[in-house]
Amino acid sequence: MIVRHPLAGPRPFFRPFVEVASAIRTAARGVVTHRMRTSLSVLGVGIGVATLIAIFAILDGLTASFSKQIAQLGAQTIYVSSHPWVVRGNWWKFRNRPRLTMHDVEALRKDPKLLRAVAPVGFGGGEVSFGSERLGGVQILGTNAEYIDTASIQVELGRFLSPLEGEGTTSVAILGAEVRENLFRRSDPIGAKIRVGGQQFTVVGSLKAQGKSFGRSLDNQVIIPIGAFQRGFGNRRDLTIAIAAPPEQLGRAEDEIIETLRRARRLGAGVDDNFSVNRQDMLARMFNEETATLFGVAVAIGLITLLVGGIGVMNIMLVAVTERTREIGVRRAIGARKRTILLQFLVEAMLVAMVGGAAGTVLGVLIATMVSMATPLAADPSLQASVGGLLFSGLVGLLFGTWPAWRAAGLDPIEALRYE
């Protein structure tokens, strides 16, 4: 039986763990002892991490906000308009296109194969009043009964347009949540007589609150039948046609729409379409392209700041090696290994950088919170980004602390002991 001496070192299996623990204690002691130097070292790393955390949070908030807004357009809805939503190049070739009319709507409804709902949509603006209450700048939307199947709306009180009302000029109206609140406060609006653009309408329904989309309130609107809309606002207004189709067959439905409208408009084989078919994924694709460039530039700025911070960490660690040359010589003389010295300075560099990373994470979260409070963006930093920022700062310390640590471990013990 072999009995280990009480003063013998740790077993070989535990030695790496003991060395790491000792390195952490020594590094922490060095960081605390030289607080001013450490604070200067972590400044650049902290600013870099804060920049990256804030950028990721703001872009995440921007993406979430945009995704929520385009979701209002409906994932299974196709919109036909006289002009495309996204124009790259010459806009002038679209300006003289003929407007969409009820004739186009009827052509699409005549023999639908994949089209579940076809709703003409006319947009106008005007004053809405009830008694002494008046609201200006309300969006007036003219459509039919099928619109509810194409849009992300829900009726909260009453009902939506009936098929008969939607096809005629019946004076009925559905209120947006904001209009209902401003005109009727907490009273029931169903059956009330309101005036829309000078015409009298009977309220038959009210919608649930939807919020905003692209800076415009979706609740500040009144929906009336398309016939009543054209009677009050004129029948020469350009229409948009909202079409619901099976989500898995949107491509085929789009082909059907193009074929039907080309035939209805008598467009020859060599003639370009004089209408545009739009879907929400077009906006999503454009958004991704635009934000990719912004994201790349912003991340590059953050990485450059981290690079400057890493160089600062390396310089400070080189100074620390010079100041502690004699200490290194003493430790080497009493048996410390090269890897122990190397590990000590690597851990100290990582610790310094991670202190900066922690400070930068807190600063980045505060910046994101302030942006979220001051703007419509839900700039909410994720836990993954915060942990990633901390780990990345440790990696910066490891990379930029390698040269000073290698230099410390490579010092000759005799020369180090002679250093004054």
Q: How far apart are CA 108 and CA 96, in angstroms?
A: 23
pLDDT at residue 3 is higher than 50: no
- Helix or strand or coil: residue 246? coil
Tokens 């419509």 correspond to what residue? 376
Which single residue is written with the structure tokens 């060095």? 30
Helix (H, G, I), strand (E, B) or coil at 110: helix
Percent of the chain's residues with pLDDT above 70: 84
Mean pLDDT in residue range 37-44: 69
Q: Which residue has the higher pLDDT, 354 or 378?
A: 354
Rounded to 5°, angle at Cα 24 from 41 and 359: 40
Confidence of residue 366 (pLDDT cuts 50, 70, 90): confident
Residue range 125-142: average pLDDT? 89
Share of the chain above pLDDT 90, in %: 15
Higher-pLDDT residue of 362 and 19 is 362
Q: Are 233 and 140 in contact (CB under 8 A)?
A: yes
Please tell me which residue, 138 or 345, carries the higher pLDDT value: 138
- Given pLDDT bands bounded at 50, 70 and 90, which one contains residue 192? very high
User: What does the alpha-carbon distance between residue 121 and residue 239 come to, in Å, rounded to a whole number?
Assistant: 6
Q: Is there a contact between 359 and 53 (Cβ–Cβ < 8 Å)?
A: no
For 63-100, give the DSSP string: HHHHHHHHHTT-TTEEEEESS-SS--S-SHHHHTPPPP
- E strand segments, 159-213: 172-175, 193-196, 199-207, 212-213
* pLDDT tens figures, 4-32: 444 444 555 455 555 566 656 666 666 66
Q: Answer yes or no: is pLDDT of 147 > 70.
A: yes
| 162-183 mean pLDDT | 89
- The residue-averaged pLDDT of 308-335 equals 80
pLDDT beyond 60 at 185: yes
Model confidence at 61: pLDDT above 70 = yes
Q: What is the pLDDT of residue 143?
A: 93
Q: Which residue reads 């590094």 in tokens?
A: 27
More confident residue, 310 or 2: 310
pLDDT of residue 141 exceeding 90, the answer is: yes
Q: Provide the token pair at 125.
A: 């603006």
> What mean pLDDT comes out for the span 129-156?
89
- Tell me: pLDDT of 136 over 90: no
Q: Which of these ranges, 130-139, 230-239, 250-259, 411-420, has the smallest mean pLDDT?
A: 411-420
Please report which confidence band the pLDDT of residue 331 belongs to, taking 50, 70 and 90 as the band edges. confident
What DSSP character marks residue 34?
Answer: T
- 231 vs 413, more confident: 231
pLDDT of 2 higher than 50: no
Check whether 87 has a pLDDT greater than 80.
no
* Residue 309 neighbours by CB distance under 10 Å: 27
Return the closest-CA partner of residue 211 out of 239, 263, 176, 245: 176
Rounded to two decimals, the pTM is: 0.64
Q: Does residue 71 have a pLDDT over 50? A: yes
Reply yes or no on whether the pLDDT at 114 is more than 60. yes
Q: What is the pLDDT of residue 29?
A: 65
Torsion 178-180-182-185 (CA) sign: negative
Which has the higher per-residue pLDDT, 57 or 283? 57
Residue 28 pLDDT: 64
* E strand or H helix that includes residue 384: helix 383-409
Tokens of 306: 């981290």
Specify the higher pLDDT residue, 366 or 417.
Answer: 366
> Dihedral of CA 88/92/95/96: which sign?
negative
Q: Given this model, what pLDDT does residue 174 score?
A: 95
Beta bridge partners of 63: none
pLDDT of residue 7: 42
Both tokens of 194, joined, read 């309101």
Mean pLDDT across the chain, nearest whole number? 80
